[in-house]
């Protein structure tokens, strides 16, 4: 492999793929697609569908699937993630041994720059290929678009954090708007819901998109219920949410769909 192209593909809709992304898929000798077990088979199929939308019948011969290693549980979270990244890099290399591919593409959910470790994994490869990035629509862009809201208040900062940190550290000091990524436990349940407003979404951009918003105290139970039902129905879920401490538009009503 001489060149590895990381292509941001947005949050599941083929319409999120940019023209640059389409061109890079067409120019790739091989497209790596991870398999994450039967429960998440839809994720691999979505990536393959995107390839088919660009390549047509050629997609089948270009796609190279590999089994995604499972992260081992460990009390030291960062240590377990580091070991996991090493195993993923080995899985890429092992899969590519069977192909004479000089230019390899890897489709990345959202954008490779935001809470995604594909670039860190690519940096471990030896010999090191040339790595290029094609930007994609982030989950936060898809979330704010779905709710038709701005990410930030006027002249105000936004804090982007993880569910783990929200659970362990609480509301970030001095923050007014908090975007939460990688949260499998709806960690806003650990916060005092008073004076907080939430915008939540799952399967953003897909036909199964589901949204909920409103004062956190009023909609938290509904979000928990909707999320659990959606995960049971699909076997997997990708969701994210935005929290604001103050809401300037006090006329907003809570909603779930």
* pLDDT tens for each residue of the chain, 257 residues long: 899 999 999 998 889 999 999 999 999 999 999 988 776 778 888 899 999 999 999 999 999 999 999 988 888 889 999 999 999 999 999 989 878 889 999 999 999 999 999 999 999 999 899 999 999 999 999 999 999 999 999 999 999 999 999 999 999 999 999 999 999 999 999 999 999 999 999 999 999 999 999 999 999 999 999 999 999 999 899 999 999 996 554 344 445 55
Predicted local confidence at residue 248, as pLDDT: 52
Helix (H) or strand (E) holding 164, with range, is: helix 163-169
Q: Are residues 197 and 101 in the same domain?
A: no
User: What domain count does the chain have?
Assistant: 2
Q: Are residues 108 and 147 in the same domain?
A: no
Residue 173: which domain range?
139-256
Predicted local confidence at residue 12, as pLDDT: 81
pTM value?
0.89
The sign one gets for the Cα dihedral 158, 163, 169, 171 is positive
Q: Are residues 118 and 234 in the same domain?
A: no
Q: Are residues 121 and 156 in the same domain?
A: no
Predicted local confidence at residue 247, as pLDDT: 55
Q: Are residues 220 and 199 in the same domain?
A: yes
Q: What separation, in Å, do the N-terminal and C-terminal C-alpha atoms of the chain show?
A: 45
Q: Are residues 67 and 127 in the same domain?
A: yes
Q: Are residues 105 and 215 in the same domain?
A: no
Predicted local confidence at residue 25, as pLDDT: 97
């Amino acid at each position: 492999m001489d060149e590895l192209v990381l292509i941001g593909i947005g949050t599941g809709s083929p319409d999120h793929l940019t023209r640059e992304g389409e061109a890079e898929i067409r120019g790739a000798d091989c497209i790596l697609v991870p398999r994450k077990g039967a429960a998440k088979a839809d994720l691999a199929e979505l990536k393959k569908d995107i390839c088919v939308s660009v390549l047509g019948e050629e997609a089948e011969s270009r796609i190279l699937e590999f089994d995604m290693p499972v992260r081992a549980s460990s009390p030291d979270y960062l240590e377990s993630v580091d070991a996991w990244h090493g195993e993923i890099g080995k899985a890429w290399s092992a899969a590519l041994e069977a192909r004479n591919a000089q230019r390899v593409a890897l489709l990345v959910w959202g954008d490779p720059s935001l809470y995604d470790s594909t670039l860190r994994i690519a940096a471990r490869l030896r010999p090191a290929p040339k790595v290029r990035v094609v930007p994609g629509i982030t989950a936060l862009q898809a979330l704010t678009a779905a709710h038709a809201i701005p990410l930030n208040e006027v002249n105000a900062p936004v804090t982007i954090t993880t569910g783990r940190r929200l659970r362990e550290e609480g509301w970030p000091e001095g923050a007014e708007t908090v975007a939460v990524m990688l949260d499998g436990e709806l960690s806003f349940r650990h916060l005092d819901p008073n004076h907080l407003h939430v915008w939540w979404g799952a399967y953003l951009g897909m036909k199964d998109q589901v949204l909920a918003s409103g004062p956190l105290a009023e909609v938290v139970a509904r979000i928990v219920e909707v999320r659990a039902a959606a995960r049971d129905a699909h076997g997997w879920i990708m969701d994210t949410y935005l929290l604001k401490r103050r809401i300037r538009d006090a006329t907003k009503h809570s909603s779930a769909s």
